[in-house]
Amino acid sequence: MAAGHKKPDRGAKNLTGAQKLEPKRTLWQRSHATFAVMTMPLFTHRDDVFVAGGQPTITYVDREETHIERQLARAIATPNQIVSLSGATKTGKTVLCRKVLGKRQFVWIDGGQIASADGFWSEVRGELSIPDETEFTRETGDTITGGADLVITMKGSHLSKTSLKEKRSTKSLADTLSILIKEKIAIVIDDFHYLNEETRRSIVRNIKGAVFNGLKVVLLSVTHRVFDAIEAETELTGRFTSIILPEWSLDDLKKIPEIGFHALNVECPTEIIENLGRESQENPFLMQKFCWEICFDCGIEEKNLIRKQRIPDDYNIEEMFVRIAKDAGLPIYKILVAGPQSRKQRAKRPLADGGNADIYEATMLALAGTGPKSTISYEELRSELGSMLSDKMPQKHEITSALKHLAQISRNKELESAIDWDDTKREINITDPYLRFYLRWQVRER
């Protein structure tokens, strides 16, 4: 939160009488109510309100009805457990995890940047300001002050100043684990599914005994990779708690613009907010991005204390969608539509509205034609292909082969949430909201 901003107090002390009004609500629910009385800062900047890709505070929505904060807090508090938090891409796993961890100490490691187990532990030592082999004493550098007792490193770890000043020696992995346990520093691995299988197995085996001795470990991953840790080490059964992030409802997504525009003293037409909700692909990141773009387009930078500002009814929202979609999903789409490498030129099929496309481009066009939906049955896809092509309808085996290749490309390029083909259920999953948004506004609408 920017300097001079007072963090909204969401505590139970602001809910006097709430227990009498809602006797069935738990203490956790009362103290974390979404619309608790909040003190907004006098001067509010749009960058502090609508935070796409960062940690929102003013527009943080706790989704109280899902009890997800409570579930994650309970899992982390439970002794001797590895906690897995999974959900679709960019649906708020990082934001939720940091919110629930609060003032705990933790080391935050990005799985996408780790190539080996040795590299992982080197990163952990680096965040703790512990050299690999020698004793060393210094205060951590490259930090951002996070409060009286904590500092936030450039990689996002939260560590106490006192622990960072202490003289430490670590000549083995056991020394590092001992420090983590002794000082109650949790390990959080973001994008755990990006680690290769060998690295996952080695790390999990390294921490297994430490978890039994009190080490807190939180793994963040996409939903269909939630059990990677157990697959890496079967003995974790019984020491593994899985929390799956529920999908965002339209009502919860609409709270982001409702709270945010109110904080900026801006009036936004209800029809625009409804449209934003429908087009956000059940994704809070996209909703934050939409709202920031609207503020920028309308020249709204800070809260106006003199008069209420208004988003015009004729704001060109579709132009904004097209612009964002171009940046959001183009790299993924280009990789998929190219298909696998082939020595011979692929056959082109004529499109009903003119032009032609090979099997991979035709498949991507057909997926876009479904909406696109996040889950599409084989029959839906085949039907869409039938109405889109004027001739040379591909055979069933050609369609399934193309889907398998698209899924394989997604895995090879570490785009596992892009296209996934379930041969048993005979359905396609597009869990990446940016790819769906691109297909919607750069492929289907154009």
Q: What is the mean pLDDT of the chain?
A: 82
Q: Residue 342: what pLDDT?
A: 83
More confident position, 57 or 36: 57
Roughly what angle, to the nearest 10 degrees, separates helices 284-297 and 317-338? 130
Per DSSP, which regions of 355-444 are E strands?
A: 356-357, 375-377, 420-422, 427-429
Residue 190 structure tokens: 């973001």
8 A C-beta contact, residue 131 and residue 125: yes
For residue 338, the SS3 value is: helix
Residues in Cβ contact with 254 at an 8 Å cutoff, skipping those fewer than 6 apart: 273, 274, 276, 277
146 pLDDT above the threshold of 70 = no
Lowest pLDDT segment from 37-41, 131-135, 237-241, 293-297: 131-135
Q: Residue 227: what pLDDT?
A: 64
8 A C-beta contact, residue 324 and residue 424: no
pLDDT one-digit tens code per residue, 303-358: 999 999 999 999 999 999 999 998 878 888 999 999 998 888 888 999 998 899 99
The rounded distance, in Å, linking the Cα atoms of 216 and 180 is 9
pLDDT one-digit tens code per residue, 84-116: 998 877 888 999 999 999 889 999 999 888 999
pLDDT one-digit tens code per residue, 178-205: 999 999 999 999 988 888 889 988 998 8
The rounded distance, in Å, linking the Cα atoms of 359 and 351 is 11
For residue 138, the SS3 value is: coil
For residue 391, the SS3 value is: coil
pLDDT band at 1 (very low <50, low <70, confident <90, very high): very low
Instruction: Please count the other Cβ atoms lying within 10 Å of the Cβ belonging to residue 128.
Output: 23
Q: Residue 173: what pLDDT?
A: 87
pLDDT one-digit tens code per residue, 222-265: 776 666 655 655 566 667 888 999 989 999 999 999 999 999 99
Domain 64-244 classified CATH 3.40.50.1820?
no
Model-level pTM? 0.75
For residue 6, the SS3 value is: coil
Half-sphere exposure for 287 (CA within 13 Å, toward CB): 34
Q: Specify the residue for token string 């050609």.
A: 398
Radius of gyration of the CA atoms of the chain, in A: 24
Secondary structure percentages of the chain, helix, strand, coil, to 5: 45, 15, 40
Q: Residue 341: what pLDDT?
A: 86
In the sheet that holds 375-377, the strands lie side by side as 375-377, 427-429, 420-422
Roughly what angle, to the nearest 10 degrees, separates helices 197-212 and 117-127? 50
Q: Residue 331: what pLDDT?
A: 85
pLDDT one-digit tens code per residue, 403-445: 999 998 987 776 666 888 888 889 998 888 889 999 999 998 7
Q: Residue 18: what pLDDT?
A: 40
Q: Residue 345: what pLDDT?
A: 86
Domain residue extents for the chain: 64-244, 324-444
CA distances from 78 to 72, 103, 324 (A): 10, 17, 41
pLDDT one-digit tens code per residue, 3-23: 444 444 444 444 344 443 444
Q: Residue 22: what pLDDT?
A: 45
pLDDT band at 137 (very low <50, low <70, confident <90, very high): very low
